[in-house]
């Protein structure tokens, strides 16, 4: 998940709670849960917190954490997931998008609901000193995907133990390649989610305490793309710059001009970001190099703004290069690092998950958050399916330290695992209840 580079706190919690009206056994909007629905939701959490279940969740998470694998290399992780599904007697499709697994529980009939967890790690050296730290040099589950996969396996077990009450079908998507490689896009291309009406996902939030969740309806995360620019000039001795065409100067002016796309061309109320994150030039102190390479990321909350940024980044770099008698090429790497659309939570799905969360954890534990310019490939599902993502607190209630995603210091309180498993299961089972055809 390309949200936090460097280690910033993601969301400012608004801590807004909402009073809800419910009736009967349905969780439909403006309804009140009957005792059976509320009892089921709370019973799922009680089951997930039982010592044997919780110990199993911790073992699974630690095994995944010790052997992190990068995008589309998740062979050990996929095998572990399949072994656990086999032990539960759950059928699945594999491989999906090279290393992914999509399991199915239920009748195979509509309604059809999906739960998703990503499972790839990051090229980061873990610096947390604990018994189960990464055993693979230079790789770490620094975005919590080990917890995501574990929580979904927990949900699988909870749901499988209650197949007699399912009123439809639940798909469990263990997805590869979220970190910049658009694994969700490739899962959808393979057609394994045809007929799915809605999909739900959780993402750990290390700044939020265990036992709390948060999200918002509508736009939640930005669309994101990458760019790589190469400016070519004429190299030569630094003592005779007039005999060169200096790509360093051209690149410097282009980088400065790129900042003005947001500061001087964009409506301040239209969220956009253009960030140059690396520059590579010469190495000698007395030589002007022939080429300079630089690149970064651009983000926005709407498709129109995204297209505008893409066009203007190319124009600005090429024009600044030409001004300095250099040539420029701009690569947006759409084939290798596919652009992510904005993540937009479906209103109806958001309301459903929020109400389930309030029953499971209490109304004061379900919060509204602001938008962030981070990105997530869960957004691809939202283009085809009613989708909603929630954050789930992963900070120990006794900890005064806040760690962050995409850093070597990320720590996740494992007490969040049974909560996430139960929330997944409750959202899915009650969705089927609400959308099953009348008998």
3-state secondary structure 306-366: HHHHHHHHHHHHHHHHHHCCCEEEEECCCCCCCCECCEEECHHHHHHHHHHHHHHHCHHHE
> Which residue's entry shows tokens 């044997």?
52
In the chain, the N- to C-terminal Cα span, in Å, equals 42
Contact 177, 1 (CB under 8 A): no
- For residue 132, say whether it is annotated as part of any ligand binding site: no
CA distance 190 to 256: 42
CA pair distance 142, 65, nearest whole angstrom = 9
**Would you say 186 is a known binding-site residue?**
no
Q: What is the rounded radius of gyration, in angstroms, for the C-alpha atoms of the chain? A: 24
Q: How far is CA 214 from CA 203, 394, 397, 421, in A?
A: 10, 12, 17, 16
Tokens of 230: 């190469």
435 annotated among ligand-binding-site residues: no
Q: Is 237 annotated as a binding residue?
A: no
Residues annotated in a binding site for Mn(2+):
143, 145, 179, 203, 406
Residues annotated in a binding site:
143, 145, 179, 203, 406
């Amino acid at each position: 998940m390309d949200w936090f580079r460097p280690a910033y706190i993601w969301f400012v919690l608004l801590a807004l709670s909402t009073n809800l009206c419910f009736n009967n056994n349905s969780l439909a909007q403006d309804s009140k849960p009957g005792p059976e629905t509320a009892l089921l939701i709370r019973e799922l959490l009680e089951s997930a917190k039982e010592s044997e279940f919780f110990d199993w969740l911790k073992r699974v998470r630690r095994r995944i954490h010790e052997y992190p694998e990068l995008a589309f290399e998740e062979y050990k992780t996929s095998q572990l997931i399949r072994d656990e599904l086999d032990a539960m007697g759950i059928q699945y499709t594999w491989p999906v998008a090279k290393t992914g697994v999509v399991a199915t529980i239920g009748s195979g009939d509509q309604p059809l609901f999906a739960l998703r967890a990503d499972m790839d790690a990051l090229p980061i050296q873990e610096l947390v000193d604990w018994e189960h730290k990464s055993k693979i040099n230079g790789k770490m589950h620094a975005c919590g995907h080990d917890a995501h996969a574990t929580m979904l396996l927990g949900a699988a077990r909870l749901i499988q133990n209650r197949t007699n009450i399912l009123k439809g079908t639940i798909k469990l998507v263990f997805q590869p390649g979220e970190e910049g490689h658009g694994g969700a896009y490739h899962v959808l291309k393979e057609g394994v989610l045809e007929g799915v009406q809605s999909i739900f996902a959780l993402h750990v939030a290390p700044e939020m305490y265990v036992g709390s969740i948060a999200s918002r309806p509508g736009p939640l995360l930005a669309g994101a793309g990458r760019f790589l620019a190469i400016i070519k000039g004429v190299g030569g001795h630094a003592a005779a710059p007039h005999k060169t065409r200096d790509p360093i100067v051209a690149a410097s002016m282009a980088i400065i001009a790129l900042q003005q796309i947001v500061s001087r061309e964009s409506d301040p109320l239209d969220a956009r970001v253009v960030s140059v994150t690396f520059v590579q030039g010469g190495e000698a102190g007395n030589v002007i190099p022939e080429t300079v390479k630089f690149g970064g990321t651009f983000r926005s909350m709407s498709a129109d703004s995204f297209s505008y940024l893409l066009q203007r980044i190319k124009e600005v770099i090429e024009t600044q290069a030409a001004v300095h008698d250099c040539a420029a090429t701009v690569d947006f790497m759409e084939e290798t690092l596919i652009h992510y659309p904005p993540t937009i939570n479906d209103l109806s799905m958001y309301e459903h998950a929020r109400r389930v969360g309030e029953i499971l954890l209490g109304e004061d534990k379900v919060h509204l958050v602001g938008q962030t310019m981070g990105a997530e490939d869960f957004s691809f599902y939202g283009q085809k399916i009613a989708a909603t993502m929630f954050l789930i607190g992963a900070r120990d209630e006794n900890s005064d330290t806040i760690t962050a995603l995409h850093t070597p210091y990320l720590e996740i309180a494992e007490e969040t695992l049974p909560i996430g498993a139960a929330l997944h299961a409750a959202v899915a089972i009650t969705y089927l209840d609400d959308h099953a055809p009348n008998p």
